[in-house]
């Protein structure tokens, strides 16, 4: 008889299908050894493997891989919690992280254990029934590496395979841990350490290979995805997403083809971008691995490829052979991407009935605002319609499948009012496809952005290199205008019908940066939001059924799992990530101190959260002695160098220090912090490579001015309050 571990996922899948089709006693007898081997492995002591993930619906209590199943539907068949009893859902345990930065991870749960990542790529193994810490692992990412992260020191989760836990660390390492005790099994550096690469995405494991991408296109890197042997960490293949110097040999025929779409310029000198920083999916039947490719570096095509061209494989979905990394097909969502319109967003595989035929599709709602349905076997375009208002393209041509880009969208030195913004119409926040309703639930954003080339763009060796005029893109400082802009930015949960290509229902949120989604068999959709609530809705109508105040903004996606017959709902609550850093005050109603926690709920859960500590922030800036010219120069330098972490116009989102509240004592140490790295242990490295003493002084003068602005706004508000 075949042993369980010798039967691969495809064999088990075929067995299940054949068994479903044929019921004769003879066939059942013939298949018996295979069937029992497939079943036995559900409780294999070796842990998660390929056929457990392919057959994940046979153990719905577990959440074995990032999207629960290889098709990444994030739909749970669990049914104990339903519309009738959800009012009994209560907190049953919480786990407080020891960090206060952004949380974006999806926890995995197998056989009563939860494996999850917090900020700084730290890994935690917890008892999934009560939150007891079994082990934790800190990869000790150097804090100064944070300057290479465009979008906070976040991590979106681990992968499990044959008794190991895999995590991608912010500094580019891929680490395998023993699932039992967190001991390091192996660790490899997946990225060049002399370039600003980061890893924030969750690895996937398919056919014994750990697949991992990376980020860094905002800084200047060349994107690629790699496969490592899950057993020993050997590099098996690497697929680059953009061509290198055409004078040198191409790594693959696919790149030779891609190079035809880059015209003029020397994009390879700083990498060209195209990072695979988040989404992947896998079809075991078709033996295809799908990767989502990110934006160009710098953002504008004019700076990379001044002669035009599509710049493949930027902003594309690419299908690869998982065993070799060989290219099979691609579909580009944003030709000649100039808007940070990544196609790294969540990809979902499903079988849909379209025009009377069942189609095997891949679906994506990338940053560019269109919802795409493609044939996942061939990459053939099926349909695309905008799910939010868009200004960069008029439509996607139904015959060619190509976006009709408005010529003015390829902006120059005058502002193009782009919609969506670089935050996307939808970014990494996971969606969910519910086969019962046939709907895809999209955490959507509607916002615009003034795209304008930076005058005399020069590539800097530290920090952000997007080639955008950051000062022009900053919000005006007038508090009333800021408020109006914030109100014009909309966040919503859209239940999208992928066949009809239109919304079935929409819930409008009060903030634009909201959480990922899970849906269940019992007509439930769970989503956290920027206001700090975890909410359950009816999957078919969007009616609000239940909510819980988490005391802090939620961006991560919930999961649901079952242990000993009891169903749980879990979510990571904690503010951070791109928008909260850049556009301060996106969070309007949540905590004044970021709290980072895992929250877990079950029916009749009786726990509650302690009251939040109130943090008083004194606003006591020194006198401003600098000239108007110096302050103006500081404003420009600030928006080139500092805004990505400390927020535009020096208004922080509450995760990273708001510089306006810098004390007089700290102002005396300003140059030591900015030029000498006094606070590098907190992630604030020395910027002496790109700023001199006069620059540092100018930025300080601008920050002091903004502190005085805030002080006068505050006293005006207090006077109004008295009046
Ligand atoms: Ca980007």
With b for 16 or more beta-carbon neighbours within 10 A and e for fewer, the 525-559 pattern comes to: bbbbbbbbbbbbbbbbebeebbebebbbbbbbbbb
- d(CA 394, ligand 1 centre) in Å: 23
Where in the sequence is the domain holding 45, given as residue range(s)?
A: 4-73
Tell me the DSSP string of 4-21. GGGS-HHHHHHHHHHHHH
Question: In sequence order, which residues have a C-beta less than 8 Å from that of residue 310 and are 6 or more positions away?
Answer: 261, 332, 335, 336
**Boundary (domain end) residue, out of 53, 73, 93:** 73
Taking residues 316-328, report their average pLDDT.
98
* C-alpha–C-alpha distance, residues 615 and 100, integer Å: 14
Separation between Cα atoms, residue 387 and residue 527, nearest integer Å: 18
Cα of 314 to ligand 1 centre, how many Å? 11
Alpha carbons 54 and 13: distance in angstroms, whole number:
7
pLDDT of amino acid 415 = 93
| pLDDT of residue 16 exceeding 60 | no
**Alpha carbon distance 535, 81 (integer Å):** 14
Stretch among 269-273, 325-329, 431-435, 715-719 having the lowest mean pLDDT: 715-719
Confidence (pLDDT) at 699 = 95
Over residues 190-204, the mean pLDDT reads 97
Cα(139)–Cα(120) distance, integer angstroms: 8
For residue 477, the model assigns a pLDDT of 75
pLDDT at 449: 92
Query: Is the model more confident about 662 or about 6?
Result: 662
pLDDT digits (tens, 9 = 90+) for 599-652: 999 999 999 999 877 767 788 899 999 999 999 999 989 988 888 888 888 887
What is the distance in A from the centroid of ligand 1 to the CA of 14? 40
Domain boundary among 12, 39, 73: 73
* Residue position matching structure tokens 């927020």: 647
Nearest Cα neighbor of 339 from 255, 383, 403 is 403
* More confident of the two residues 437 and 512: 437
Distance from the CA of 508 to the center of ligand 1, in angstroms?
A: 25
Question: Is the predicted pLDDT of residue 715 greater than 90, yes or no?
Answer: no
C-alpha–C-alpha distance, residues 296 and 410, integer Å: 13
In a domain, 690, yes or no: yes
Q: What is the mean pLDDT of residues 390-414?
A: 97
| Ligand 1: centre distance to CA 18 (Å) | 45
For residues 721 and 121, the model is more confident at 121
Residue 79, domain member (yes or no): no
CA distance to 250, 256, 287, 325, 428, per residue, from 328 (Å)? 17, 14, 11, 9, 24
Distance from C-alpha of 305 to C-alpha of 314, rounded to nearest angstrom: 12
Query: How does residue 432 score in pLDDT terms, banded at 50, 70 and 90?
Result: very high
Distance CA 57, CA 42 (A): 11
| 397 in a structural domain | no
Least confident span in 261-265, 312-316, 718-722: 718-722
Cβ-Cβ contacts under 8 Å for 326 (sequence gap 6 or more): 252, 320
Sorting pLDDT into bands at 50, 70 and 90, what band is 721?
Answer: low
Does the pLDDT of residue 31 top 50, yes or no? no
What is the DSSP code (8-state) at residue 86? Answer: G
Q: Identify whether 496 is part of a domain.
A: no
CATH number at residue 714: 1.10.760.10
Look at residue 386 and tell me whether its pLDDT is greater than 80: yes
Predicted local confidence at residue 692, as pLDDT:
95
Exposed/middle/buried for residue 448 (C-beta within 10 Å: 0-12, 13-18, 19+): middle
Q: Is 268 helix (H, G, I), strand (E, B) or coil?
A: helix
Read off the pLDDT band of 584 (50, 70, 90): low
Q: Per DSSP, what are the bridge partners of residue 248?
A: none
* pLDDT, tens digit (0-9, with 9 covering 90-100), for 475-497: 777 777 777 777 788 999 999 99
pLDDT at 582: 66
Q: What is the DSSP letter of 273?
A: B
Beta-ladder partners of 280: 291
Cα–ligand 1 centroid distance for 315 (angstroms): 10
Distance 217 CA to ligand 1 centre (A): 6
Ligand 1 midpoint to CA 219 (Å): 9
Per DSSP, helices labelled H in 164-245 are none
If you compute the radius of gyration of the chain from its CA atoms, what whole number of angstroms results? Answer: 25
Residue 25 belongs to a domain: yes
Smallest Cα–Cα separation from 188: which of 159, 229, 154, 148? 229
Rounded to an integer, the average pLDDT of 110-118 is 97
Q: Residue 596 contacts by C-beta under 8 Å, 6 or more apart in sequence? A: 96, 97, 99, 100, 101, 103, 118, 119, 552, 572, 573, 574
Catalytic residue among 283, 340, 446, 469: 340
Q: Which of 56, 73, 90 is the last residue of a domain?
A: 73
Mean pLDDT of 122-149: 96
- Kindly give, in sequence order, each residue whose CB lies less than 8 Å from that of residue 191, ignoring residues fewer than 6 positions away: 172, 197, 199, 214, 221
What does the mean pLDDT of the chain come to? Answer: 90
CA of 340 to the centre of ligand 1 (A): 5
Ligand 1 centre from 157 Cα, in Å? 19
How far away, in angstroms, is 151 Cα from ligand 1 center? Answer: 9
Is 340 part of the annotated catalytic residue set? yes
Give how many domains the chain has, as a whole number.
Answer: 2
- Determine contact, residues 275/294, Cβ cutoff 8 Å: yes
Residue 473, domain member (yes or no): no
For residue 230, being part of any structural domain is answered with: no
Give 244-283 pLDDT, tens digit per residue: 999 999 999 999 999 999 999 999 999 999 999 999 999 9
Least confident of 60-69, 81-90, 481-490: 481-490
pLDDT > 90: percent of the chain: 75
313: in domain: no
């Amino acid at each position: 008889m075949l042993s369980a571990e010798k039967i691969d996922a495809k064999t088990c899948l075929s067995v299940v299908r054949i068994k479903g089709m044929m019921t004769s006693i003879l066939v059942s007898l013939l298949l018996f050894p295979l069937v029992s081997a497939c079943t036995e492995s559900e409780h294999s002591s070796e842990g998660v493997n390929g056929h457990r993930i392919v057959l994940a619906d046979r153990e719905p209590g577990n959440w074995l891989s990032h999207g629960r199943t290889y098709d990444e539907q994030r739909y749970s068949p669990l049914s104990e919690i339903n519309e009738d009893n959800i009012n009994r859902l209560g907190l049953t345990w919480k786990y407080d992280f020891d960090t206060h930065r952004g949380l974006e991870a999806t926890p995995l749960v197998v056989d009563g254990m939860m494996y999850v990542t917090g900020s700084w790529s730290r890994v935690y193994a917890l008892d999934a029934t009560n939150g007891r810490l079994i082990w934790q692992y800190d990869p000790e990412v150097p804090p100064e590496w944070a300057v290479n992260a465009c979008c906070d020191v976040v991590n979106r989760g681990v992968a499990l395979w044959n008794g190991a836990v895999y995590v991608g660390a912010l500094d580019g390492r891929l680490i395998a841990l023993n699932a039992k005790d967190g001991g390091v099994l192996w660790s490899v550096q997946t990225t060049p350490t002399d370039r600003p690469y980061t890893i924030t995405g969750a690895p996937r494991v398919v056919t014994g290979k750990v697949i991992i991408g990376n980020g860094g296109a905002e800084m200047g890197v060349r994107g690629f995805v790699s496969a490592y042997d899950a057993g020993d960490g050997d590099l098996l293949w690497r697929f680059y997403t953009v061509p290198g110097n055409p004078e040198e040999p191409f790594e693959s025929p696919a790149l030779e083809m891609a190079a035809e779409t880059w015209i003029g310029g020397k994009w390879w000198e700083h990498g060209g971008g195209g990072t695979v920083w988040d989404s992947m999916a896998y079809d075991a039947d078709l033996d295809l691995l799908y990767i989502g490719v990110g934006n160009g570096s710098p953002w504008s095509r004019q700076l990379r490829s001044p002669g035009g061209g599509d710049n493949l494989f930027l902003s594309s979905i690419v299908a690869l052979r998982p065993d070799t990394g060989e290219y099979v097909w691609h579909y580009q969502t944003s030709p000649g991407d100039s808007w940070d319109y990544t196609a790294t967003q969540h990809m979902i595989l499903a079988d849909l009935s379209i025009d009377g035929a069942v189609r095997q599709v891949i679906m994506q709602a990338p940053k560019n605002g269109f919802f795409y349905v493609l044939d996942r076997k061939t990459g053939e375009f099926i349909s695309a319609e905008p799910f939010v208002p868009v200004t960069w393209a008029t439509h996607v041509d139904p015959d060619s499948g190509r976006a009709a880009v408005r010529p003015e969208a390829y902006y120059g030195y005058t502002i193009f009012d782009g919609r969506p913004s670089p935050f996307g119409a939808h970014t990494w926040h996971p969606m969910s496809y519910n086969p019962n309703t046939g709907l895809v639930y999209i955490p959507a954003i509607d916002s615009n952005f003034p795209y304008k080339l930076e005058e005399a763009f020069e590539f800097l060796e530290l920090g952000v290199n997007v080639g955008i005029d950051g000062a022009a893109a900053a919000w005006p400082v007038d508090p009333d205008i800021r408020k109006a802009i914030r109100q014009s930015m909309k966040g919503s949960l859209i239940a999208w019908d992928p066949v009809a290509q239109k919304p079935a229902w929409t819930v409008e949120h009060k903030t634009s940066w909201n959480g990922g989604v899970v849906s269940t068999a019992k007509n439930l959709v769970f989503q956290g939001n920027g206001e700090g609530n975890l909410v359950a809705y009816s999957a078919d109508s969007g009616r609000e059924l239940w909510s819980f105040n988490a005391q802090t903004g939620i961006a991560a996606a919930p999961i649901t799992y079952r242990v000993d017959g009891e169903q749980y709902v879990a979510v990571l609550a904690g503010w951070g990530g791109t928008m909260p850093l850049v556009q301060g005050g996106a969070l309007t109603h949540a905590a004044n101190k970021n709290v980072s926690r895992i929250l877990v709920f079950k029916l009749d859960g009786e726990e509650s959260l302690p009251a939040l500590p109130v943090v008083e922030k004194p606003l006591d800036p020194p006198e401003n002695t600098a000239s108007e010219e110096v302050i103006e120069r500081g404003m420009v330098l600030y928006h080139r160098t500092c805004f990505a972490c400390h927020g535009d116009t020096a208004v922080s989102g509450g995760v990273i220090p708001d510089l306006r509240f810098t004390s007089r004592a700290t102002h005396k140490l300003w140059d030591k912090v900015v030029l000498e790295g006094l606070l590098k242990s907190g992630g604030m490295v020395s910027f002496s490579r790109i700023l001199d003493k006069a620059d540092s002084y100018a930025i300080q003068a601008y920050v002091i001015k903004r502190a005085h602005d805030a002080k006068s706004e505050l006293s005006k508000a207090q006077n109004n309050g008295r009046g």
